[in-house]
Copies of this chain bind each other. A is one copy, B any other.
């Protein structure tokens, strides 16, 4: 299968982290293509930045329409995910959604470790949108400004480990998610150092995308994820217009 992984941020160093972890976990017959947002911010922490990220992902999804069997939105918070599920006939997977649904099978209450204070409100709303707020034990977070999103997991390794341990002992987390593309691969390197199972969004996302492709569940022709109704539009970039028009109804 051909998997398109889109980094909704403009940070190529983070794209590299995502790609490295994706290639470590992908099945042999999964062909990975990476894409980085052409327009946006260094890393998304807020609702407004997510609005920009959503548009950037949609643009890439439209530009490469027909070139992928599944798409992975590779920023925690899943900008544009639900919207793209309507527009595309192939599985569209988000790092947060995939990590949550994976973690939910490993424990009852889920702890999330995040890279900044500001990002936590947006993450919480994202968990709530997926209906899983009752399973959220906590969102713990780094406090210091990030020097570089591409090196955060190295710069703050000890603090990330400490936050993880407190999420278990103080907040009752049964399972942890190391959240955010800048932490891609950290779960793997912390293996054995944490007291509960731990997942990250990139490897969960790649594997869930492969799983959904393999199950061939079919696509939506009715319901709220069917393709948007054909109607007049104007002023849209060709890539976006392609998403509106590519599907026969």
Interface residues of A (CB under 8 A from B): 10, 25, 37-43, 45-52, 54-55, 58, 80, 82-87, 91, 93, 97-98, 101-102, 104-109, 118, 120-122, 125, 128-135, 168-169, 172-175, 187, 191-192, 194-199, 203-204, 207-208, 211-212, 214-226, 228-229, 231-237, 240, 243-244
Partner of A233, one of B10, B129, B194: B10
Partner of A220, one of B39, B174, B222, B225: B174
Known: A174-B225, A214-B25. A48 touches B231 (CB 8 A): no
**Are A223 and B25 neighbours in the complex by a CB distance under 8 Å?**
no
Besides A46-B86, A47-B83, A54-B54, 14 other A-B contacts (C-beta < 8 A): A10-B233, A40-B234, A52-B240, A55-B55, A82-B108, A97-B104, A102-B217, A107-B224, A121-B223, A121-B224, A172-B223, A175-B217, A187-B217, A197-B220
**Are B236 and A219 neighbours in the complex by a CB distance under 8 Å?**
no
Known: A41-B232, A198-B217, A207-B215. A108 touches B173 (CB 8 A): no
Chain B residues within 8 Å of A232, by CB: 10, 41-42
**Are A191 and B218 neighbours in the complex by a CB distance under 8 Å?**
yes
Known: A10-B235, A48-B228, A87-B48. A195 touches B223 (CB 8 A): yes
> What is the bound-complex CA distance between A195 and B223, given in angstroms?
8
With both chains docked as a complex, state the minimum distance between the C-beta of A110 and any C-beta of chain B, in angstroms: 10
Chain B residues within 8 Å of A208, by CB: 105, 211
**Are A215 and B97 neighbours in the complex by a CB distance under 8 Å?**
no
> What is the bound-complex CA distance between A121 and B135, given in angstroms?
12
**Are B42 and A225 neighbours in the complex by a CB distance under 8 Å?**
no
> What is the bound-complex CA distance between A45 and B233, given in angstroms?
13
With both chains docked as a complex, state the minimum distance between the C-beta of A132 and any C-beta of chain B, in angstroms: 6
> What is the bound-complex CA distance between A91 and B87, given in angstroms?
32
Known: A82-B47, A132-B131, A232-B10. A107 touches B197 (CB 8 A): no
Chain B residues within 8 Å of A228, by CB: 41, 45-46, 48-49
**Are A106 and B217 neighbours in the complex by a CB distance under 8 Å?**
yes
**Are B215 and A40 neighbours in the complex by a CB distance under 8 Å?**
no
Closest to A86 in B: B48
> What is the bound-complex CA distance between A86 and B25, given in angstroms?
26
